[in-house]
Structures are given as structure tokens and as C-alpha cells.
Structure 1
Amino acid sequence: MQSFSPPSADRECMGRFESVRYRIEIRSRAAAGGEETSMSRLEGEVAIVTGAGRGIGREHALALAREGVSVVVNDLGGALAGGGDDEALADRVVAEVEALGGKAIASYADVADYAATAQMLEEALAAFGRLDILIANAAIVRRGAILECSEQTWDSVIGTNLKGTYNCVHHAGRVMVEQGSGCILTVTSGGCFIPSPRSAPYASSKAAILSFTLSVAAELASAGVTVNCLSPGLTDTRLGEGAIADITKSSGISREAFYASVGTPQRPDALAPLAIFLASPEARDITGRVFEVAGDRINRVNPPIRAESFEKPGGWTLEDLIASFPRSFDD
């Protein structure tokens, strides 16, 4: 794997992130040992984390609570493929936040439901009076061949992942613009910029979220609202385990061979320091960026850009393309 060498502005960004991550780790260790901890710069802020009942979302919620943030723990309590209503998931994370000395309320809203997400925002404001951070993390996946993908499957995945992100950003963004500040974090996936067979609905939703993030970031920058996108590398979650099981089964390779090729899954809390950093005062000038977290590496992901191009005065004919295209765009 090639070393990531960001431009100077991004090196500065990474340096600030490392500083914030160090402070977070020191505070977390002190809290675990019962020592007095310093007040966080996020003390008193309010966050909504969707899909926070387990996995990466749960770790975001707990990390925010450790930083003094009041948290709306949203989780429908559904299955990985969608559906379900196990309210105990969100309730357990609320209890964990309270055990840390933090404040939290549970939300069981289905993010795919426009009205339900609006109600979730109202509940957050009623409980805590403001909203500073949104982490739109909720997602489902249904793996399978595209030619066997039903319309219902497609609509379900796009509805939760893409429309769910829109619903939350739409409602939360209005509150933040009125406040004149806020941090929105969306979640994409490496499956949208690396070919990912048998996951077209999921990959499509995550690619759309990436573009959605860049567009919204440009719109809300003047209002003091930052909008960035997180991309988890292979992570030890339900979704990660499902992907590994499907890939190894469909390709006939062993888990050992798979891990040798791509590495072992990272822990679900690997993204939490970056999420905290992007919500912190040190990151108020960082917006419209996509960051992938893969173990001990953070990669800044560029959106699709134009590569090589070829011009022919007067335009191209079919004969020109037959003669030139294979050579011109040969990988």
C-alpha cells in the first residue's frame, strides 16, 4: 500500500487530528481509572447519532458522551437487512451513557421516514434545547446479484441509507443554520469507490451519500455548518461480518486468505476519534471532505475526478473512435 502524502493543508489537518485524538485517549484512560478529567471543548453540546444501538454508531455515542455531549441515541432496533423494532438496543446505549455520567435519550425513529426524523429533531430540542452535531450513521445492506435484486430490496436500501441521510440532514441542517453553527457527519463506504460485486444497492446509496455530502457542504458553509463524510475501512461489525461471509462464500476463498489480502477488521471504535475531531473547534474550517479510516491510517478520499482526455478538432467520428479509443484510454 502506498503511503498517504496529503498536501500541506491536509497535513495540517491531520496534525490537528492527532493532537485531538491524543487528548481524547488521555481523558478516556483517566476516566477509566477514576481520575479527574479535564473539561472537553464539546462540553454542553448536543448530538444525534443514528444507528447508535450497536457497532460504530454506539462507539460514536459513547465517545461523544465522554466528551461531555448530550446524546440522542437513535436506533430502530432492526435487522441488518432492515425491519424490526427492538427498542432495547437504543435503551441499553442510553444506560451506558448515563453510567458514564452523561445525558442521553433514546429515539426509535425509522430514519427512512421523513416525518419520524422531524419528530426526532423535535424530541432532541425539547430535551436539550439545541443541536450541534449530527452523525447520520444508520444503514442497512442486502447483498446479492443485481439481476436477482427486487424492486423492494432496492427501495429499502436506498430508502434507509440515502433518503435516511437526506431526512436527517434536512431537518438537522435547518436547526443548525438558524443557530449559525453545527457539524454534520455522513457515512459512505469503500464499496462506492472500489468495485463491490453483489452489493449494488448498498454501493449506490453510499456513492450518492458522498456526492450529497459535497453538495450540502458547499451550500451550508456560509452558515457556519461543516459537513464531512466518514468512510469506515473493514470493521468488526454486523455489516462487516456479513460482507466477509458473503465474499468468502461467493468467491470460494477462506477467511484466512481474505484477511491476508485485505487485513483483519478494525475495532468499531476506530472512527470515534476522527468524529470527535471533526466536531471540535479545531476543525471548524474543514468541510466538504471525505476521510477513510482503516486501522492506523486515515486516507483523504478525493471525489471522482477527470483523468486523461483527448481532443480532436472538429469532433470525433465513429471511425476515429474505432481507430483511436483503445489506444487513447488503455489502462
Structure 2
Amino acid sequence: MASPPPPPPPSSDDPVAIVTGATPSPAQLHPHPNPLLPSSPPHPNPLPSSPPPLLPPYPTNPQLTHPTPNHQSGIGLALARTLLTPRHGHTTHRVALVGRRTDVGTALARSLDPSGGTRARFFAADVASYASQAAMFRAVREAFGRVDVLVANAGETDRGSVYGLLDGEEDAQEGEDGGEVVVPPEPDLGATDVCYKGVVYGVLLAARFMRGNDAGEGGVRGRVVVTGSVGAFHPHPVVPEYCGAKAAVVAFVRGVAGVMWAKHRVVVNVVHPGLVSTPIVPEEMIRAVPEGCPTPMETVLEGFRIYLEDETGRTGEQMEASGTNIVYYDRPAYANGIATEGATTVWEPWFVMGHGEESGLSGTYR
């Protein structure tokens, strides 16, 4: 088994990529009792709270252009490894790993970059907090001198149930008998905070920190690639809040992509992975689904590579990376023709009222 080649010496011209969700949260590795998965055991190989040893070498697949990371590492860490790995004809990135677990994140960065942080460094942040994300962006720019890529990968699934089925039969019967209806406790919408609000915050900050970059081929100054989910298009009843947040990301990215390109030359796209074996997914679920359903990490990495290396300015796209295939989702047709299209086309005076200047888009109303 060959070890990956060492990264080349860093240059101040090397692009800098921020990768959020590089370390699984404590809730993902050691979840509190979750009625959605009452018998789910702890992850078989949780990351320790103390610094782990150097990451083991991983094999390469000659059929693909990316190394094959340990499936337990999660998408964020796999992407970080890929961005740091030299590949013919493409620039090696410097990588800012972002997560909430400082102990694990610092050790992982050290494992990826034994040189001491010149190519990979950990930055603690909670993406659900705008102030925390903003401080992280500032720290990354101060450390590396620039920000070129945001991989908005941080994610969290439902922390509770929105079905109202967990209060007990006696609660339901009280209402049915004409008695007092027991109001369920306020749901914890942490998945929405991380998966949707975190993306909105990240896109805004990325545009501000990237718009001053020199334009590359095709005029691109910066890239945002968001980790979505096939659940955004085909919602999973077990995690409806998570799927709703991912669906919101689809609409948000389609909504902002044109203006982000027109104003800042920043592209924003989404990769929607299928079912990947990561710390957030119970191993029992991977074993239960049909053959052909689980998605190799290589497929997901290939999807991200397409957007990270594109120089044509393609933006606002939705890509599914599942099984061994890459599939693109077209924008839905205007179901009721001009009535639908007209209702969703920019009227410039309204855009100016909300955003201070005209949109820069073509085909708008005046």
C-alpha cells in the first residue's frame, strides 16, 4: 500500500480552501439518546478526544483521479486530503480545516501537514453562528493571506422528532377525549441552523473575502461548493428537518448564484451525495440498504473535483454524486408558463430597494 506523495512546499500563490465539517461533532460521534435511533450503538471507530496518531496511508484507485480515504473520516476530511494531494496539471491547495472539536481538529491538521501548519491548519468555528464564521474567515485570511474556496460541508441531522409521537399515548388520548391537549416541547432545529443558516452565512462571507482575488481563467475569483443531499430532492421521512434544510439550500443557491457571479465573480454550486459511510450514518443502515445504494467516497470526491477545477464560470448547479455516477439536476420548468416565470423574475426597483443597487442580471423587468 503506497503512501500519498508529500505535499510540495507551500507558496503564497497557492489557493486557500476552507473546508467546514472537517471534524465530526461530539453529537455525531457520541449522540445523546435519540428516539429516532433507539438501538443505534456508538460508532464502531469514534475519533478519540485525545489527539490521534498520524493518519494511516490510504490506497489509490487507478480508475480515479483521487486518493481513496478511510471511509470513517467523513466527507470533509476526505476533501481536505484530496485538496492537499498533488495532481497532474492542477494546483495543490493550502487547507483550513474547520470544526468544533479543537483537540481532534488540531491533531488531524498536524497529521495532514507534519510541516507545522504551512499547508493545513485547524480553525475552530461553529458555522451556525455568524460571528463565529466571520471570525474564522478573518483568521484564515490572516494565517494564509487569502481565501479562494469554501467547501460548506458542515452538517447535522435531526436532533428530535417533528411527528409528535414521543409524548406517550396518554398525551394523545387527553386531546382525543376533549381534555387538555399537551403541547409538545419546542423542537431543537439545530439541523436547520447548521445545514441552512450556516450555508447562507458562508456564502455571504465567502463573497466578501474572495471578490478581491485576481481573476483566474474564465474570470473566476472564488468558488463555493456546498454539500447537499439526495434528500433535498427525495426527502427521507426519518430526517425531515435535515432534508428540508438541504432543500432550502437548493433554492438559496439557485437564487443567489447569478448575482454572486455578476457582482463578485464567485461561483456557487452544490454536490448532493448519496448514502456514504461516514460517522453520521449508522453502520447498520449501510448494511440494510440494497446493493448498489451505498456511495463510494471516490464518487463524492469526483463531484467536488468537477466544480473545484472548473474554469468556465458554471454556477447555480445541482449535482448528485451517488453510487458510481454523477447526475445533474436541471432547473424545473415554469409549470404555468409566463405566470410562473414572471413571478420569479427580478424587477430591478425591488432589487435596488432590498440590496442597494441593480442586480447585474440579464432579462430583468424595469
- Is the structural similarity TM-score above 0.5? yes
CA drift of 1:279 comes to 1.8
Partner of 1:225: 266
Query: Secondary structure at the residue paired with 1:138?
Result: coil
Q: 1:266 aligns with which of 289, 295, 309?
A: 295
Partner of 1:211: 251
Alignment of 1:1-331 (within 5 A): 32=4, 44-53=14-23, 54-67=73-86, 68-77=92-101, 87-99=102-114, 103-142=119-158, 145-148=161-164, 151-154=186-189, 156-179=190-213, 181-222=221-262, 223-241=264-282, 244=285, 255-256=287-288, 258-260=289-291, 263-280=292-309, 282-307=310-335
Q: Contact 1:43/1:69 (CA < 8 Å) preserved in 2?
A: no
Q: Give the TM-score, by structure 2 length.
A: 0.63
More helix by share: 1
Q: Which string of whole-angstrom CA distances, capped at 9 and with x for unpartnered residues, describes residues 197-240 of structure 1?
A: 12121011000111111122111112321111010011011233
Q: Contact 1:59/1:269 (CA < 8 Å) preserved in 2?
A: no
Structure 1: gaps (5+ residues): 1-28, 78-86, 246-254, 312-331
Q: Contact 2:161/2:187 (CA < 8 Å) preserved in 1?
A: no
Percent identity between matched residues is 28
Q: Give the TM-score, by structure 1 length.
A: 0.69
Q: Which string of whole-angstrom CA distances, capped at 9 and with x for unpartnered residues, describes residues 224-260 of structure 1?
A: 2111101001101123337938xxxxxxxxx44x224
What code does the residue aligned with 2:203 have?
V
Partner of 1:84: none
What code does the residue aligned with 2:245 have?
S
Q: Which string of whole-angstrom CA distances, capped at 9 and with x for unpartnered residues, describes residues 39-62 of structure 1?
A: 99x971001000012400001111
Q: Per the alignment, do residues 243 and 278 of structure 1 end up closer, same or farther by CA in structure 2, a change over 3 Å counting? A: farther
- Cα separation, 1, equivalents of 2:308 and 2:9: 15
Q: Per the alignment, do residues 199 and 60 of structure 1 end up closer, same or farther by CA in structure 2, a change over 3 Å counting? A: same
Q: Per the alignment, do residues 291 and 165 of structure 1 end up closer, same or farther by CA in structure 2, a change over 3 Å counting? A: same
Q: Contact 1:112/1:159 (CA < 8 Å) preserved in 2?
A: yes
Q: Contact 2:233/2:247 (CA < 8 Å) preserved in 1?
A: yes
CA drift of 1:290 comes to 0.7
- Cα separation, 1, equivalents of 2:312 and 2:3: 27
CA-based RMSD of the aligned residues comes to: 3.1
- Cα separation, 2, equivalents of 1:270 and 1:100: 30
Q: Per the alignment, do residues 304 and 169 of structure 1 end up closer, same or farther by CA in structure 2, a change over 3 Å counting? A: same
- Cα separation, 1, equivalents of 2:111 and 2:140: 18
What code does the residue aligned with 2:313 have?
D
- Cα separation, 1, equivalents of 2:14 and 2:185: 46
- Cα separation, 1, equivalents of 2:188 and 2:98: 23
Q: Per the alignment, do residues 204 and 284 of structure 1 end up closer, same or farther by CA in structure 2, a change over 3 Å counting? A: same
CA drift of 1:66 comes to 1.2
Query: Secondary structure at the residue paired with 2:19?
Result: strand
- Cα separation, 2, equivalents of 1:228 and 1:169: 11
Q: Per the alignment, do residues 76 and 150 of structure 1 end up closer, same or farther by CA in structure 2, a change over 3 Å counting? A: farther
Q: Contact 2:140/2:146 (CA < 8 Å) preserved in 1?
A: yes
CA drift of 1:144 comes to 5.3
